[in-house]
């Protein structure tokens, strides 16, 4: 009998610990979400986040709560001399959290830090040719790692913010990769949720991906950036950019793809207006 009680005790310890951590996290998030949103942050959103200006008031309130929690849980680190200020933190958090609106979320649970460079930065790359490892350097504007970090170039972000009609967002792009990887695989097929039609998603995305690749080879314009032809993961990321930033055109040119993204993200940005 003593052995049974000992086994039960040993089993319950990790369960109690998990429940305690979960409860503490939920309480912390509830406290953060109820804190006043600083007027300075509101000004930053109004000046730098076009989707925020367009979305209905209910979503604005939801986004502000998400930003509070996101900034309470993620760390920011400036690299190569980049200073981190409220503008950087709020802008990054806002675009990252737009992807969480109306969705059950754990706020990018595998992500702990955002690294911000002032400009493009050098990275080491390795690829294999004929069984031989080839090492080289490349210039990057951003990266999204499956475990731990997102890396961003602030100058690229500022350039995009200066042109509201460019339809691109490095932040949305890299955080779309984070969404994609939440099921453990960064492959262009995120965890769609219970009751979702994975077959329909795969059919639509495969066709649209091939259409983009063929159109890019012919030099055709598309609301979806042709960087998406690189692989399905990049296609999901650039399609997500188009969905949130050029919603009306995306819906008009790619109605089925737009529909899949709208069902997944649980919003319809084409209905947002100033």
Same domain, 36 and 152: yes
Same domain, 41 and 111: yes
Residue 211 lies in a domain: yes
Give the model's confidence band at 178: pLDDT under 50 very low, under 70 low, under 90 confident, else very high.
very high
Q: Among 130, 165, 200, which residue terminates a domain?
A: 165
Residue 97 lies in a domain: yes
Same domain, 116 and 243: no
Please tell me what DSSP assigns to residue 118: S
pLDDT of residue 34: 76
- Residue 270 sits in a domain whose CATH number is 3.40.390.10
| Sign of the torsion angle spanned by Cα atoms 47, 51, 54, 56 | negative
Same domain, 142 and 248: no
Residue 178 lies in a domain: no
Q: Among 165, 196, 230, which residue terminates a domain?
A: 165
**What's the burial of 268, exposed, middle or buried (CB within 10 Å: 0-12/13-18/19+)?**
middle
| Mean pLDDT value across residues 40-53 | 97
- Among 78-92, 142-156, 216-230, the least confident range: 216-230
pLDDT (tens digit per residue) in 21-41: 556 666 777 786 778 899 999
Same domain, 194 and 251: yes
Q: How many structural domains comprise the chain?
A: 2
Same domain, 159 and 32: yes
- Which among 92, 100, 90, 89 is positioned nearest to 43, based on CA atoms? 90
Domain of 78, in residue numbers: 28-165
Residue 92 lies in a domain: yes
Beta-strand runs (E) in the chain: 75-78, 111-117, 121-129, 132-140, 142-144, 148-153
Same domain, 139 and 206: no
Residue 253 lies in a domain: yes
Is a pLDDT exceeding 70 seen at residue 74? yes
Predicted model pTM: 0.87
Residue 221 lies in a domain: yes
Q: Which residue has the higher pLDDT, 95 or 195?
A: 95
- Which among 108, 23, 35 is positioned nearest to 73, based on CA atoms? 108
Same domain, 207 and 161: no
Task: Say how far apart CA 230 and CA 178 lie, in whole Å.
Answer: 18
pLDDT of residue 266: 97
Same domain, 142 and 202: no
- Among 17-26, 195-204, 263-272, the least confident range: 17-26
Chain position carrying tokens 């509201």: 164
- Residue 51 sits in a domain whose CATH number is 1.10.472.150
């Amino acid at each position: 009998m003593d052995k049974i009680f000992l086994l039960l005790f040993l089993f319950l310890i990790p369960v109690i610990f998990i429940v305690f951590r979960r409860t503490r996290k939920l309480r912390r998030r509830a406290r953060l979400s109820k804190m006043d949103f600083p007027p300075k942050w509101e000004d930053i959103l109004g000046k730098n986040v076009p989707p925020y200006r367009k979305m209905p008031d209910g979503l604005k309130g939801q986004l502000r709560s998400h930003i509070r929690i996101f900034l309470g849980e993620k760390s920011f680190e400036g690299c190569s001399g980049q200073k981190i200020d409220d503008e950087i933190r709020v802008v990054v958090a806002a675009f990252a959290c737009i992807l969480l609106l109306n969705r059950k979320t754990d706020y990018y649970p595998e992500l702990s830090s955002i690294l911000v460079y002032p400009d493009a930065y050098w990275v080491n790359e390795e690829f294999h040719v004929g069984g031989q490892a080839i090492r080289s350097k490349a210039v990057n504007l951003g990266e999204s790692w499956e475990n731990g970090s997102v890396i961003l170039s602030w100058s690229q972000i500022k350039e995009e913010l200066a042109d509201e009609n460019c339809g691109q967002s490095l932040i949305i792009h890299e955080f779309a990769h984070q969404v994609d990887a939440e099921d453990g695989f960064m492959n262009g097929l995120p965890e769609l949720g219970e009751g979702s039609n994975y077959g329909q998603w795969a059919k639509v995305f495969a066709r649209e991906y091939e259409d983009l690749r063929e159109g890019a080879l012919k030099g055709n314009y598309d609301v979806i950036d042709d960087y998406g032809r690189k692989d399905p993961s990049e296609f999901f990321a650039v399609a997500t950019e188009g969905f949130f930033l050029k919603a009306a055109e995306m819906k008009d040119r790619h109605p089925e793809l737009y529909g899949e993204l709208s069902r997944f993200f649980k919003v319809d940005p084409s209905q947002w207006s100033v």
